[in-house]
Amino acid sequence: MPELGFAQRKITLLVLCVSVAMLGTQVDGPPPKAIAAYLISGACICLLRILSLREKPDLPRSKQTKAKPPGSQHRSASARLRVKLLRGARRIATLSRAPEIWVPPTRNVRVAGLRIGGMTYLATDTGNQSQELRIPEAIDPTSPVASKADPTPRLNRLLDYASMSPSARATYLNWLATGRNDISVDPKYMLLYFSGLERRLLIDEADDDAGIILDEVNRLQNLYPAKHVVQRIFSRFLDAVSLKYGSEEISPGLTDLPDLPAVLKFRFGAQLADGRPLRAEDLFIWFMNHPERRLRTPALRCAEEFEALFKLRFDARFPDGLTLKRPRKLFKVHYKSASGSFSVSMTPEHKGTPVPDISGLRQPVEIAQEISDDVADDLDKLSRFLGRSPDGRASAQAHALLPPELWVAFPNPVMASLKAWASDLIVEGGFAPASDVFTRLNGAAPDKLNKRQITEAVTALARINIGMAPDPRFALRGARSDEPVALYRLETPPEAPQAPACPDIRSFILGLAAGTYIARSDGQISERDAIALRTIADQETIPSDQERPRLRAELEWLIAVPIEWRLLRRRLGASSTTDHERLQSILDVFVKQRPTSSRADAIERVYRAGGLDPELARRSLTSARAPACPKLDSIRIAQIQSDTDQVSKVLASVFHDAVPEQPSKQAASSDPAGLDEALSSILMKTIGFRSGNPGDFSQEAETHGRLALGAMEAINDWSFEQYGAQLIGDAPDYPVDAAVAAAILKDIHRKA
């Protein structure tokens, strides 16, 4: 037989009382029987009164089996709550004769001529109720309401319908009747409505309405994204009810709560109570929801990669999980309503006992922060790339910037095709247009390449065992978009950490750059010079064999692409003593080849720019140009000497009586004062002193065994001191200033 409802039980007891009373009046027996009948009737009446006060009318009893409410299908089965009602906590019946009733969502009540809908409390009997027992959320239909809603009134007090002015009541009722989504009104009206939802779940424990109420709270929260106070109120409420109506699937989302969410405290407290260690997923959720977390930009910009690498690093550090010491303090949740009208205290239980409170544990947060910082460092390059190219996440360069541990978790098919293309190019010689490389890496090539972009490309290619020259970290400059680059194969496995570059690699490249500049001074680099430079690169003593392919590729690029003298001069000027020694050995190779005048000028330029003594270059060049010593025939010399003696005797016999001619006065010297004999001769022939036709300065300097650049500087110093201007211009034409030349010729003729 099914159990009777509350209304049926009241009627049954009432009929029983009347029957017993009538029975007492008809009893003819002794008075005690009549008295007993009256006592039974009185007891039934008292029982009826007790049931009226304590039962929830027309609602399932707490011990009855209840269907799961909508939205609570993921409710945690292990969290059993002991709820203690504190100040202002009085359960309200639904559509009963209690002073306040809850209007279900399916009902639509009318107040002051407005249909305000359900999900509110309605005051039905306020005359016999004291002010202390009145709930502020209940709408009293008898309270005066203004005829027209005023959008401007503000609530003088927080969340109390009875204390509102008539115009404020009109505004509140109109807000309820028009969809409850007008955010232009004071948010306090919305919070008054929300306070009723709080009471319904936490005090009345209306599980049947839980799904609808939680959906409504989420809707209200989305209406006020910029109201931080309102957001905190909603977050506190959802956090408190999550212990009862939350999901077992906890996402590691970021929260604005001042502490860990209650559902996480219960979860990890139960885990500690069972003696289970924390896994990577547990610590990541703990850290991401902790208010003291410090997340750097890579963790936010590369969220998926950050989570995956965080868990990998945790598993590597704690393969058996992280075991924590169990705290003594027990976990409790204290909640105060938005209206301040009631408070509750909840004690979650796991397997029938309270769980420890993990709020004070510092070790997990500190360990997680260390792992987070380490992971952020490894994702920094990828984060910077995505900051500049938000649409480049699927590119080959973005994948190459991932830490090697994540390559399997985040595959990219573009990398395989890029590696195959680069490998084929290396077989064919290794040269490719820089624009093609960047197009394959990023999908498009920028019009102008900078050092950062080229360095990122070099780093990306290194992940697939491909090197690229020039590398702006070591070379004199990077490639331009319209220039080729040299690709080569790296021997280091891609998953192995890249070894730091040899400290002397810059010095090696600088010396080879100077060599290519000298070799190109004749117009182009000959095959002989290219072979000599490759031999130098192969014979250099390099501490790391991994740098040998890099050095060779940098040389091949220098052979293919001319280097600017201005850039080379600046780098030579900043060279060190070690650079000078390596530079001297490379220059000696070209000096011994009996260079042409243009190459000799280039050698002297490099000497001067590198801080080397140019006199060393002159002596080396002079010795290289000097012809071989002639072989003397001693017999021929003796014969010539004998003939000379005989001629001398004949002449002495013929002219012994002649009067010796008086020596004439020595002619005045016409050489310019301050210049040696060789420089004077070069100067005279250059300005056409005797012939009247100016000579070729470079050729004259070579004839006298001087370097054109050194001779030019010496003569210009002299002319500037004597005439205040330079006589000879820069290479390669070495033009002569006609005015200075005329002044020099005038002075020479005057002195002569």
Rounded CA Rg of the chain: 51
Q: What pLDDT shows up at residue 135?
A: 81
As a whole-number percent, the residues of the chain with pLDDT over 70 amount to 72
Q: Over 80: is that where the pLDDT of 161 sits? A: yes
Q: How far is CA 328 from CA 268, 286, 325, 361, in A?
A: 14, 20, 10, 11
Q: Could you tell me the pLDDT band of residue 84, with boundaries at 50, 70 and 90? A: low
- Give the range among 302-316, 317-331, 392-406, 539-553 with minimum mean pLDDT: 539-553
Q: What is the pLDDT of residues 692-726, one digit of tens each?
A: 567 778 788 878 777 777 788 788 888 877 887 78
Report for 33-37, 151-155, 315-319, 403-407: range of highest mean pLDDT? 315-319
Q: Over 60: is that where the pLDDT of 314 sits? A: yes
As a whole-number percent, the residues of the chain with pLDDT over 90 amount to 25
- Give the range among 470-484, 578-592, 644-658, 659-673 with minimum mean pLDDT: 659-673
Q: Does residue 372 contact residue 317 with C-beta atoms inside 8 Å?
A: no
Q: Which residues contact 251 (CB under 8 A, 6 or more apart)?
A: 285
User: What DSSP string runs through 96-152?
Assistant: SSSSEEEEPTT--EEETTEEEESSEEEES--TTS-TTT--TT-B-TTS---SS--SS
Strands 114-117 and 109-111: antiparallel
Look-up: residue for tokens 């080879």? 512
Question: Tokens standing for 319?
Answer: 């393969």
Q: Does residue 161 contact residue 192 with C-beta atoms inside 8 Å?
A: yes
Q: Which residues contact 261 (CB under 8 A, 6 or more apart)?
A: 239, 242, 255, 289
Q: What pLDDT shows up at residue 280?
A: 95
Q: Which CATH number fits domain 677-751: 1.20.1630, 1.10.10, 1.20.120, 1.10.3470?
A: 1.10.10
* Global pTM value: 0.57
Distance CA 195, CA 340 (A): 9
The phi and psi torsions of 49 (rounded to 5 degrees) equal: -65, -40
Q: What pLDDT shows up at residue 331?
A: 92
Question: Tokens standing for 35?
Answer: 């008295």
Q: Does residue 630 contact residue 661 with C-beta atoms inside 8 Å?
A: no
Delimit the domains of the chain by residue range: 6-54, 80-292, 379-489, 505-625, 677-751
Question: Tokens standing for 74?
Answer: 């993921």
